[in-house]
Structure 1
Amino acid sequence: MTAVRPDRRTGGAERAAQRSGRRAPLALVALGLAGCVLFALAVATGSVPIPPLRTVTALLGLGSGDPRLDVLVTGIRVPRAATAALAGAALGAAGLLTQTLFRNPLAEPYVLGVSAGASLGVALVVTAGATGAAFTAGGLGVLPSAGSRLGTVLAAATGAAAVLALVLLLSRAARSTTALLVVGVMLGSVVTAVVSLLLVWTDPRQAQQFLAWGLGSVDGVALGELPVFGGVVAVGLVAVALLAKPLDGLLLGDDYARTAGVDVARVRLVVLLVAAVLAGVVTAFCGPIGFLGIAVPHLARISVGTSRHRVLVSATALTGAVVGLGCAVVGHPPGVETVLPLNVVTSLVGAPVVIAVLLRSRKLGSAW
């Protein structure tokens, strides 16, 4: 009798799956620890450095021994660090959804036009004069002002919701995800053009304030706003986790997903809604933040070594939080009053690091 030799490719795939199964839990634990360390570092660094021991005691609620430092930690540094982590996790998860839906490694959540819609909402209020001081520098997140910040958030959220409604309406008519992708890009281009026209006609000082908002920031979210921001992000992340199985089917194509029992039209609608809500809430509170939505999912795939969404969703959220916190740390150099705009940090510092990681990884094309 002739011995039956196992298929080398099958055996290689099994060994790869076993390695991935062992690697994923370790990667998730490492990401969680890195997030904790960077959170503490984001609280400790800034124009007024805080000693490590005092930072830890303040975070544990034991007090730092200095009332002024306690106010600095609880009122400014903790909200800033929490906002950075939430924004990174939300944009990473939204990027994962759009990349899977469109099966395109270059897709990002803002391809749906939500960021352009939020910018349009803010630009409309700026050009309309917006109730006196409602859109001063404080209103755009440069200086703290609760009432004016509420106006900014509401304007951005309204604009994002309007564009989201239009995208969802058009998604019913789109015959394929590729057509929907092109529609989203075109819609975003039109809205961006309208914003540019509004800025041409507005007062230069107001236009400058709008441009400052457009650079992105995690400094404007107050402690009292965190429950709203964090609550929406948490609900969105839970929704992404519940979509893990349908997302695995979509990654292999619409036809395969249908044979696996996935209602492609309904899942596509839900994916669009969840991705747009996650990207929209971040834009409303922090301004449009680039880079994270497209880069974080790739870093997460490399870290856990798998494209199975049951694992990848958690890895993406943790990776996004880690990257967001890292950008917040870099954007607030110790002992320096100047705060670097978030989009400057993500582009100049983060992008080269991600490029180097992706080029060194052999697993970049495995998911596509």
Structure 2
Amino acid sequence: MPNRPYLFPIAIAILGLSFLLNLSLGSVWIPFGEIVTGLFSGEWNKSSWEQIIINYRLPKALVAIFAGIGLSLSGLQMQTFFRNPLAGPFVLGISSGAGLGVAILMLAGSTFGFALSGVNSWAIAFAGVLGAGLVLSAVSLVAWKVKDSMTLLIVGLMFGSTVSAVISVLSYFSGAEALKLFTVWSMGSLGALGWSQVGILGVLILLGCIPVFSSIKSYNALLLGESYAKSMGIRTEKMRWLMIGSTGILAGGITAFCGPIAFIGIAVPHLARIVWKSSDHRILFPASALIGAILLLLCDAAGQLPGFASTLPINAVTSLVGAPIVIGLILKRNFSRDF
């Protein structure tokens, strides 16, 4: 199948334009030229523009790139691992685990009649990482005992359902203020992180991507089943642990810092297959990373509602964009030949 290598420079150019567009749009329009000049020379015509770009829009744009890359790569891994076109980065329940950690932090105090102080972005991120880590440990224990990938998929979904039920119980008994705080978090946000948190998220994305690109040649064989992969000399057990660990770091870290972000991990790998007309993972991984970053930047730019002071939750925008893509793929069955 044709790989269309000429599309990579085009995608990189679109990524650059999407990055500038994301920095420009908002309640205050800032021209492209002023952004480029300010970022490279450090000289701004207006001090307010510098404050807006450096302290808010630039870290938010970087978070969008990191989250788009991480969700797309983890979604592609899960689709390959389970050989299921509708698998996403959250099928193992790791995102729900991050949500449970945040729910306990925000809702447990209200549920049991006392107020929790010091609930800030650092505490939320730590609680999310801890919750995702606990669920990842449980999934890893099950993966050690269960060798069948379909069984592991079912167990992961059950983990997610159980955790969601616990969150629902906590939500039911919590106070209105705590419930509103958790509801806002569950809508997702790319703009709540400072520079130090952006750096930590970037390190997590890098750590999660290392297993992907260190074993990229082995993913193509997994599409034909574990038995075929073993006959090709691939250590499937090692690949299983690499994919679970990578997805846990990527999806869990992004959810902990940004909240749940829907549909990017499911839709983007299919878009990469359609645009590049390839099922080769040496093409799909970088293609998915580029499309994921571009799509989340554009969704965030659209959610800024240019010219207005208010913004839309990023989860709502990605759902509005991603859901029609997934529905169209289901109706056309374009993905059936790749699994």
- Per the alignment, residue 183 of structure 2 pairs with 211
- Per the alignment, residue 165 of structure 2 pairs with 193
- Per the alignment, residue 26 of structure 1 pairs with 6
CA distance in 2, matches of 1:192, 1:354: 23
Question: Which one has the largest radius of gyration?
Answer: 1
Q: Helix, strand or coil for the counterpart of 1:336?
A: coil
Q: Helix, strand or coil for the counterpart of 1:218?
A: coil
Q: Deviations over 1:199-257 (max 9, x none)?
A: 11111210111011000110111122221111111222232112212211111101100
CA distance in 2, matches of 1:254, 1:84: 34
- Per the alignment, residue 314 of structure 1 pairs with 286
CA distance in 2, matches of 1:257, 1:157: 33
CA distance in 2, matches of 1:88, 1:199: 29
CA distance in 2, matches of 1:64, 1:235: 35
Distance 1:315 1:175, change over 3 A: same
Q: 1:127 aligns with which of 100, 107, 116?
A: 107
- Cα drift, residue 307 of structure 1: 1.1
- Per the alignment, residue 41 of structure 1 pairs with 21
Is the 1:327–1:350 contact (alpha carbons within 8 Å) kept by the matching residues of 2?
A: no
Distance 1:49 1:192, change over 3 A: same
Does 2:163 align with 1:179?
A: no
- Cα drift, residue 324 of structure 1: 0.8
Say what the alpha-carbon RMSD is for the aligned residues.
1.8
Give aligned-pair identity as a percent. Answer: 38
- Per the alignment, residue 335 of structure 2 pairs with 364
- Cα drift, residue 294 of structure 1: 0.5
- Cα drift, residue 181 of structure 1: 0.3
Distance 1:187 1:362, change over 3 A: closer
- Cα drift, residue 361 of structure 1: 7.8
Report the TM-score, using the length of structure 1 for normalisation: 0.87
Distance 1:154 1:93, change over 3 A: same
- Per the alignment, residue 43 of structure 2 pairs with 63
- Per the alignment, residue 170 of structure 1 pairs with 142
CA distance in 1, matches of 2:117, 2:265: 33
Is the 1:94–1:108 contact (alpha carbons within 8 Å) kept by the matching residues of 2?
A: yes
Is the 1:80–1:218 contact (alpha carbons within 8 Å) kept by the matching residues of 2?
A: yes
- Per the alignment, residue 63 of structure 2 pairs with 83
Is the 1:299–1:354 contact (alpha carbons within 8 Å) kept by the matching residues of 2?
A: no
Indicate the larger mover: 32-41 or 60-69: 60-69
CA distance in 2, matches of 1:244, 1:361: 29
Is the 2:262–2:318 contact (alpha carbons within 8 Å) kept by the matching residues of 1?
A: yes
Distance 1:351 1:362, change over 3 A: closer
- Cα drift, residue 366 of structure 1: 3.0
1:134 partner letter: G
- Per the alignment, residue 259 of structure 2 pairs with 287
- Per the alignment, residue 92 of structure 2 pairs with 112
**Where does structure 2 lack aligned partners over 5 or more consecutive residues?**
none
1:57 partner letter: T
Matched length: 335
CA distance in 2, matches of 1:350, 1:188: 21
CA distance in 1, matches of 2:200, 2:317: 26
- Cα drift, residue 283 of structure 1: 0.3
- Cα drift, residue 81 of structure 1: 0.7
2:168 partner letter: S
- Cα drift, residue 56 of structure 1: 1.9
- Cα drift, residue 58 of structure 1: 2.1
- Cα drift, residue 353 of structure 1: 5.1
- Cα drift, residue 62 of structure 1: 3.6
The within-5 A match list for 1:266-281 is: 266-281=238-253
**Where does structure 1 lack aligned partners over 5 or more consecutive residues?**
1-16, 136-147
CA distance in 2, matches of 1:353, 1:186: 26
- Per the alignment, residue 309 of structure 2 pairs with 337
CA distance in 1, matches of 2:233, 2:325: 40
Q: Helix, strand or coil for the counterpart of 1:110?
A: coil
CA distance in 2, matches of 1:359, 1:105: 9
CA distance in 1, matches of 2:204, 2:9: 25
CA distance in 2, matches of 1:360, 1:57: 47
Is the 1:95–1:107 contact (alpha carbons within 8 Å) kept by the matching residues of 2?
A: yes
Q: Helix, strand or coil for the counterpart of 1:111?
A: coil
CA distance in 1, matches of 2:162, 2:35: 47
- Cα drift, residue 131 of structure 1: 7.2
The within-5 A match list for 1:131-170 is: 132-135=116-119, 148-170=120-142
- Cα drift, residue 274 of structure 1: 0.4
- Cα drift, residue 362 of structure 1: 8.4
